[in-house]
Amino acid sequence: MRKRIATIVCVLHLSISAVTMAAKDVTRPVITVDATGPMRPVSPEMYGIFFEEINHAGDGGLYAELVQNRDMEASAIPEGWRAEGDQVFTPKGWRTRKWFQDDLPGWSFLAEGGAEGSMAIDANHPLNDRNPHSLRLTVTKMGSRCGLVNSGYWGINVQAGEWYDAAFYAKTEGSKGVGLVFSLENEAGDKVCARATIPEIGRGEFGPPQPGAANAPAQWRKYTLGLHANASDPKCRLVITPIEPVTMWLDVVSLFPRKTFKDRPNGMRRDVAQLLADMKPGFLRFPGGCIVEGVTLHNRIRWKDSIGDISQRKGDFDLWGYYNTYGLGYHEYLQLAEDLGAEAMYVVNVGMSCQGRCPEIASGADLQFYVQDTLDALEYALGPATSEWGAKRAANGRPEPFKLKYVEIGNENHGPNYERHYKVFYDAIKAKYPQAITIADTRMPQMPVEIVDDHYYVDPARFFSMANHYDNADRNGPSIYVGEYAVNRGVGTGNLLGALAETVFMLNMERNGDIVLMCSYAPLFENVNQRDWPVNLILMDGSRCVGRSSYQAQKVFASNRPDVVLQTQVQAPEVKLAGIGIVRRLYALAGLDARAGEVIVKVVNPTPSEVPATISLKGLSKLGDKAKVVTLAHANANAENTMDNPNVVVPVESEMRVPAAEFAATFRANSLTVLRLSAAVERR
Ligand code: AHR
């Protein structure tokens, strides 16, 4: 019998046997699960996601737009700010690196075979007051080809067989009619993956120049065209060339893959959004983060500038160091939450800009402006199509209200100003939307606080030391949402050890599911071409995306979330982990998935050696004799998934026999293991 089991061990990396074989080993960890003891609920929304425009998470990431700086506004410095050298200063003197190198980031002028002409940003021919800059292209000598190149966000991913939809606004000098060629070509320019021509722009219904102004441009007009790819290249560029000399203006030049997540127009990249869907998120927190606060109050996320036709949106400098088009806006977030089957959680500016940067505090009538802004946002999401903002939602294609369950009042705000503002926002929100569940940034014993948002960015040692953090949390205080957490110190750009430390902390949150209702890792995304934050959950470039080990751990937890946790005792000796400190050899938690009729045991072994242990299940009947096993492990704690090696640390499924209610199992070095076996709670 023992011999046979030893064979299984080799295959499954998880051994089982009659427990008696190791009964005398006092250092052997014992995990005792007692279903006769009190149980605590775990919210179905426990594991969610937090999206913020950081590391090009949206523009150049999740948001499927392929053209960089489509609105020609990426070099616009906000009103009142000033640039000096490579720095930009806000009116109050907060400074940042100038986020653009030239007037038209993403765009360059193309002149081949003796062509002559120029390209320039132009503030004299605004498309509308929200898009004051356009691109003027002048071609004086055709040569072999002359026009514009857009680099996309570090290249445009083009796949053979797929369609790409371009849309743009243009006008020509003197209403001259001219054909335009759009092509998607590789970087070297020697492979054309897709090409399409618009026979004529500029002339037509918007007609002749004004009398007495022979060279005056005609009016702006929108054009669309589809490009079908017959070759693939992940790093194409978009080339736009007129077929004869012309002076023309372009603005809001957009290119989307026809296939987006759930086929939404102005939608999300399918591959990236699918990674989110695979996390089975209970909620989606948006749109930030610090960008909700802004470096000035005007620089906060202005949701009203992020809705409607993309030509009417007014982007802004994103305090993480680049221009945010607002293409992925308030409506899209609400839609995405719905498409992911997640509850929407909207974070609102509370009349305070980022306190860690350069705080501005609104007061009096100004504060009312921010309160009203929030109420309008809620009306946009929840109001009937007959209401002012509900009507705008309907005009944007969504007559019926969205679901918006949670409203977070501020992000990481604190102090007396916050407390005062919080109360004003809380009262206003609850008066009009009593069903909205509010979240506060800090504990305020004198205030009505439903849920408080805790944030942790730590090193591995800290999360190991927080294995019991919420055990004694005040059950009479507010519920807890851990809105941002990650190991982002001492782990380079992320590694398995960091992920395992996070799982130890997650076991603690799950064990205290009666008070810790929700949690979300942060930040969610990193475009590997621009990292603004040291460690992020999902890495991507224009054509690929990969979940780090922490992503895999998140997925394993969300897919194995119990409805209730069972009393779980772990007797495990402590060991010293090099470079970290003292950890336990095993951490564990068991729970019940009532619908599946299964007991779920999650076990973390953060040590570099395998750990044989005993599991004892009490108070459970109808125990299955087999367990499904999911193991996330690697022999090297520094292992990590990368763009080129995405499957270094991924969950592996197997099966093991469970001979009795007490059984032996060996947990791999550096591992998270989940055992699921059918079980019912014995009648009490
Ligand atoms: O997740 C990155 C940042 O960390 C968030 O913007 C902010 O809330 C926190 O400080």
Nearest to 36 by CA among 583, 566, 419: 566
Q: Are 276 and 262 in contact (CB under 8 A)?
A: no
For residue 483, which atom of ligand 1 is closest to its CA? 8
What are the residue boundaries of the structural domains of the chain, listed by start?
4-41+562-681, 47-66+266-293+341-559, 101-257
**Is the CATH number of domain 47-66+266-293+341-559 3.40.50.360?**
no
- Identify the CATH homologous superfamily for domain 4-41+562-681: Golgi alpha-mannosidase II (2.60.40.1180)
Q: Over pLDDT 90: what percentage of the chain?
A: 92
| Residue 616 in tokens | 């004892």
Check pocket membership of 484 for ligand 1, CB cut-off 6 A: yes
Q: Is the pLDDT of residue 7 over 90?
A: no
For residue 218, the model assigns a pLDDT of 66
- Ligand 1 in contact with 288 (CB < 6 A)? yes
Confidence band, pLDDT 50/70/90 cuts, at residue 684? low
Q: Is the pLDDT of residue 13 over 80?
A: no
Query: Can you tell me the distance from the alpha carbon of 176 to that of 153, in angstroms, rounded to the nearest whole number?
Result: 32
Please tell me the residue having the least CA distance from ligand 1 atom 8.
289
- For 483-509, the pLDDT digits (tens) are 999 999 999 999 999 999 999 999 999
Dump pLDDT digits (tens) for 573-614.
Answer: 999 999 999 999 999 999 999 999 999 999 999 999 999 999
Closest ligand 1 atom, CA of 412? 8
Determine the Cα–Cα distance for residues 395 and 40; give it in Å rounded to an integer: 45
What does the pLDDT average to over 637-646? 98
Nearest residue by C-alpha to atom 3 in ligand 1:
289
Q: How far is the CA of 289 from the centre of ligand 1 (A)?
A: 5
Binding site membership of 287 for ligand 1 (Cβ less than 6 Å): no
Residues 92-111: what's their mean pLDDT? 97
Which residue's CA is minimally distant from atom 9 of ligand 1?
289
Residue 98, beta-bridge partner list: none
User: At 305, phi and psi to the nearest 5?
Assistant: -85, 0
Residue among 49, 50, 52, 439 whose CB has most ligand 1 atoms within 8 A, to mutate: 52
101-257: what fold?
A: Jelly Rolls (2.60.120)
CA 289 to ligand 1: nearest atom: 6
pLDDT number for residue 27: 87
- Give φ, ψ of 7 to 5 degrees: -65, -45
Which pLDDT value is given to residue 175?
Answer: 83
> Ligand 1 centre from 1 Cα, in Å?
54
Question: From the alpha carbon of 291, which atom of ligand 1 is closest?
Answer: 6
483 CB within 6 A, ligand 1: no
355 pocket-lining for ligand 1 (C-beta < 6 Å): no
SS3 per-residue string spanning 473-521? CCCCCCEEEEEEEEECCCCCCCCHHHHHHHHHHHHHHHHCCCCEEEEEE
Q: Is the CB of 441 under 6 A from ligand 1?
A: no
Size of the chain, expressed as the number of residues it contains: 684
**Hey, which of 55, 347, 411 would you mutate to test ligand 1's pocket, going by the most ligand atoms within 8 Å of its Cβ?**
411
DSSP state of 560: T
- Distance from Cα 493 to the centre of ligand 1, integer Å: 17
Is the distance from the beta carbon of residue 536 to the nearest atom of ligand 1 less than 6 Å?
Answer: no
pLDDT of residue 6 exceeding 90: no
533 lines ligand 1 (CB under 6 A): yes
CA angle 529, 535, 537 (to 5 degrees): 85
Q: How far is the CA of 135 from the centre of ligand 1 (A)?
A: 35
Please check the confidence at residue 150 and state whether its pLDDT lies above 70: yes
Instruction: Please report the DSSP string for 118-167 in residue order.
Output: EEEEESSS-SBTTB--EEEEEEEE-SSEEEEEE-BTTBEEE-TT-EEEEE
Residue type, 52: E
Average predicted confidence (pLDDT) for the chain: 94
Q: What is the pLDDT of residues 282-328, one digit of tens each?
A: 999 999 999 999 999 999 999 999 999 999 999 999 999 999 999 99
Smallest CA separation from ligand 1 atom 7, residue: 289
pLDDT of residue 24: 56
pLDDT of residue 26: 74
Residue identified by tokens 């402590």 is 574
pLDDT value at residue 1: 32
- Rounded distance from Cα 406 to ligand 1 centre (Å): 19
- Say which range, 143-157, 195-209, 387-401, has the weakest mean pLDDT: 195-209
State whether the beta carbon of 327 lies less than 6 angstroms from ligand 1: no
| CA of 222 relative to ligand 1 center, distance in Å | 38
Does residue 290's CB lie within 6 angstroms of at least one atom of ligand 1?
A: yes
Return the ligand 1 atom nearest residue 522 CA.
1
Q: Tens digit of pLDDT for each residue in 38-80? A: 999 999 999 999 999 999 999 999 999 999 999 999 999 998 9
pLDDT, tens digit, for every residue of 650-666?
999 999 999 999 999 99
The residue nearest atom 2 of ligand 1, judged by CA position, is 523
In terms of C-beta density within 10 A (0-12 exposed, 13-18 middle, 19 or more buried), how is residue 629 classed? buried
Q: Is 307 in the pocket of ligand 1 (CB under 6 A)?
A: no
- 364: CA distance to ligand 1 center in Å? 28
Distance 75 CA to ligand 1 centre (A): 25
- Does ligand 1 come within 6 angstroms of the Cβ of 411? yes
